[in-house]
Amino acid sequence: MIARQDEPGGREPDGRPDASMSLLADLFAGKHLDPGYAAAAARRAASGGAAPRPRRLRGAGVLLVLALAGALAAVAGVEAHRGEPVAAERRSKLVDQIHARTAETDALQHRLDRLRADTERRRAAALARSAEGRRVRRAVAAAGAAAAATPAAGEGLVVALDDAPAAPGRAADAGRVYDQDLQVLVNGLWAAGARAIGVNGQRLTPTTAIRAAGEAIMVDYRPLDGPYEVTALGDAGRLRAAFAGSSADRRLAALRDRFGIRYGTRRSGALRLPAAGAFRPRYAVPRDGGGR
């Protein structure tokens, strides 16, 4: 058992009574240096060495670094402002190139259409000379119509679709026509019995893709702008009766009533769609043996 100091038989403490407060006592006594530092200073003074010079350059170095950082930030800001006109100029050049390439592609497509029509006339004239040729001509015409390889004309249904007009308190995206809406519309018209369909004059084929790229809607990788007119050839009365009340019609009507998207249909007795661009199957090949 350890006896307390104030109890009988307790021992007096050894050394100074304030030994535990020696650091504070030394500070109040002016002894600010560690004994090791004091001994080193004494040896330097005994050997005649000069005291180390204070590092006055430390503050100057910090100021220099700050000044360089500020200069770099200023240069970066100037370059950023200078780069804005350059970026705008490059963007404008890219847009001009896109328009130029699109015009070239359209001109080549028109030339292809003319050559294809001339080839079709010559083939029809050659096949009309015999009964077998006429049979082949009918089979080729049916296959060409199914593949959208020949122009098509006749009566049908025109469905108009466009973004909703701007309205206060409504987000712009809420009233926009998306690629999914056109997909649903086209599938609904096929299901209603359309024999040929085009979007803004772009003929659809069995392999046509309707996709979105950013805010643009792509039909066979060609961007289309609204308003969108979907032309469906076929018996106009039957098409309208079969399409009305279908799931596609209900979806688009709901978008019109809820978000203000412009949607309407009309009948027409004189519609025409061009032939679609030729495409080459990537994986389909003829089977060996013909009828097997």
What would the 3-class secondary structure string for 159-216 be? EEEECCCCCCCCCHHHHCCCHHHHHHHHHHHHHHCCCEEEECCEECCCCCCEEEECCE
194 and 86 assigned to the same domain: no
Question: pLDDT tens digits for the chain (292 residues)?
Answer: 444 444 444 444 455 555 555 555 555 555 555 566 667 667 777 766 555 555 544 566 667 777 778 777 777 776 666 667 777 788 888 888 888 888 888 888 788 778 877 887 888 888 888 888 788 878 877 777 777 778 889 999 999 999 998 877 777 677 899 999 999 999 999 999 999 999 998 999 888 889 998 888 999 888 888 899 999 999 999 999 999 999 999 999 999 999 999 999 999 999 999 888 766 666 767 777 554 4
End-to-end Cα, the chain, rounded Å: 110
Look at residue 287 and give its three-state secondary structure. Answer: coil
In a domain, residue 51? The reply is no
- The residues pairing with 158 across neighbouring beta strands, listed in sequence order, are 231, 266
Alpha-carbon Rg for the chain, nearest whole angstrom, is 44
Residue 88 CA to residue 211 CA, distance in Å, equals 28
Number of domains making up the chain: 2
Phi-psi region of 175 (alpha: psi -120 to 50; beta: other; left: phi over 0): alpha
Neighbours of 273 (CB within 10 A): 22
What are the CA-CA distances from residue 191 to residues 188, 207, 277 (Å)?
Answer: 5, 16, 23
What are the CA-CA distances from residue 60 to residues 53, 55, 65, 67, 204 (Å)?
Answer: 15, 10, 9, 10, 74
- The residues pairing with 219 across neighbouring beta strands, listed in sequence order, are 210, 222
Predicted pLDDT at 42: 72
Predicted pLDDT at 193: 94
The last residue of one of the domains, among 146, 165, 186, is: 146
Buried b (16+ CB within 10 A) or exposed e, 168-200: eeeeeeebbbebebbebbbebbeebebebbbbe
In a domain, residue 284? The reply is no
Residue 156 CA to residue 236 CA, distance in Å, equals 4
**pLDDT per residue over 276-290, tens digit each?**
876 666 676 777 755
Residue 210: is it exposed, middle or buried by C-beta count within 10 angstroms (0-12/13-18/19+)?
Answer: buried
194 and 226 assigned to the same domain: yes
In a domain, residue 42? The reply is no
Supply the range of the domain harboring residue 207.
152-273
Predicted pLDDT at 21: 55
The last residue of one of the domains, among 88, 117, 146, is: 146
| Chain centre to alpha carbon of residue 265 | 31
The pTM of the full predicted model, rounded to 2 decimals, is 0.56
75 and 140 assigned to the same domain: yes
In a domain, residue 282? The reply is no
